[in-house]
Chain A
Amino acid sequence: MSRRETLVKIVDTNIDHMISLSVLHLAQLGIKYGIFKAVASRPSYGELLAQIGVPNKPLLMKLVEHLKALGIIEETPTNLILNGFSYELKFPNEDYLLLLPDWIPMFEEIYKMVDFALISPHHPHVLMDFDKDADFWDIRLSSSFHSSYRELILRVGGIDRGVEVLDLGCGSVSPAFFGRHVGESGIYVGVDYSSGLLDIARARVEKENLPVELKELDVAVMKPHNSYDVAIMSFVLEYIQNRRNVLGRVLESLRDGGRLVVVDVFRDEFNNVEALEFFEGLNGDFIGYPAKAEIKRAILEEGFDVSFEDVGRSVLLVRKL
């Protein structure tokens, strides 16, 4: 098996298990906050919200909605019911060697944050804001899971010396990583709306004097003026409302033969993504994971001549013809 194939399996497998554990933690929240016990007596939606004594009712509603999306709770026209949900946790033998341990403690931190978020969305122990909590995000982005998909992007996008790269939602770790690979003859432009993450990225880039340009811009409204060989969108589309417009502008910025690499938890490739969405939704800007089909359709509707390559389940390579 090639290194690229191994990386594809590592990224896909770890996302599978992130989702699995999120399903279990969502079920745990249902028990912990007495939601299942309350639903067992078939209350109306309003009655349930009144019965569960947490101050942050909008988040409680979101929790109920996610439990509904997973099929654990069902809503009839008049009330909520439980429908005998069962869930099988699968650990195929071949997965063991692919599992990365260091995303688990990050998720444990996030699971703990839910308790505080149910008190108030602005509780100081909720550390999911890109700017205010850039240190926590940087720790997440430094994990071996994130390193694995960055290496995969490198291989899938053909990022090497002399290549010109645009990275949308670059975060704090990718700039130095890709900057090292494009070398002095290339250029890496990282765009992010979090000044905190860019501050951390800048400190690393300056330390190594890398050919990196960082721009504090909102990807949703930016319009790239230069042309690039490769564009990267890793785990950013879930924060963008108007994906079609953004994808159109990114494809416009690519030279003929240019490549767009999209990495994400595609909802048409992974089951039960709603569980992961609940926890990632502690970040107020999170909208929801995209579908691969939605991205392909948006790009084609924008009128671009492209070819698509599914690289495993979590990566989509778009070549501009």
Chain B
Amino acid sequence: MVAVIDPHVLRSLHRSELRRRILLYLYEIYPSATYLSEIARVVGSDPSNVRGALVGLGNRYNGESSLVYLGLVEEVVNNGFKYYRLTEYGKKVVEMLKDYQSYYRKFM
């Protein structure tokens, strides 16, 4: 089955600078996985905000819009540690986002 990108996914990313920064970093290191505090350090944000963007967090972050829920990032558990890695679908979405930057700028 060919992965089809839901335009609503693209638009939700367009509305969240933090989600976009996380995705772009995971794209840079793809296919490697990394841990939450490393992502937080690179994107310049608090680990709790990064966790919210990745998997959702209480009522501050909508879990249904989180990167893991949307299938863009996967959570890998190894020796009790959680790592995050861009999925194949996430990679495709990032590549599309790059092409859409000037188009989305009109809505900002």
A residues sitting closer than 8 Å to B (CB atoms) are: 101-102, 105-106, 109, 127, 133-136, 138-139, 143-144, 172, 195-196, 199-200, 202-204
Contacts and interface: CB of A to CB of B under 8 A. Distances in A.
Binding site secondary structure of chain B = helix
Interface of B: 1-2, 4-7, 10-11, 96, 98-104, 106
Nearest first, the 6 A-B pairs at minimum CB distance are A102-B2, A105-B4, A199-B103, A136-B7, A199-B102, A203-B99
A21 to B, nearest CB: 16
A251 to B, nearest CB: 33
B13 to A, nearest CB: 11
B16 to A, nearest CB: 16
- B4, B10, B96 — most chain A CB neighbours (10 Å): B4
A136 B98 CA distance: 15
A226 B93 CA distance: 38
A227 B103 CA distance: 31
Given A135-B11, A196-B106, A204 B99 contact: yes
Contacts of A196: 103, 106
Contacts, number: 49
Nearest to B104: A135
17 contacts: A101-B1, A101-B2, A102-B2, A105-B4, A109-B7, A135-B7, A135-B11, A136-B7, A138-B96, A139-B5, A139-B96, A144-B2, A199-B103, A199-B106, A200-B99, A202-B102, A203-B100
Binding site secondary structure of chain A = helix
Contacts of A136: 7
Contacts of B7: 109, 127, 133, 135-136, 139
A115 to B, nearest CB: 15
A200 B100 contact: yes
Contacts of B100: 135, 138, 199-200, 203
Nearest to B103: A199
A133 B11 CA distance: 10
Given A105-B4, A196-B103, A199-B102, 13 more contacts: A105-B2, A109-B7, A127-B7, A135-B100, A135-B103, A138-B99, A138-B100, A139-B7, A139-B96, A144-B2, A199-B103, A199-B106, A203-B100
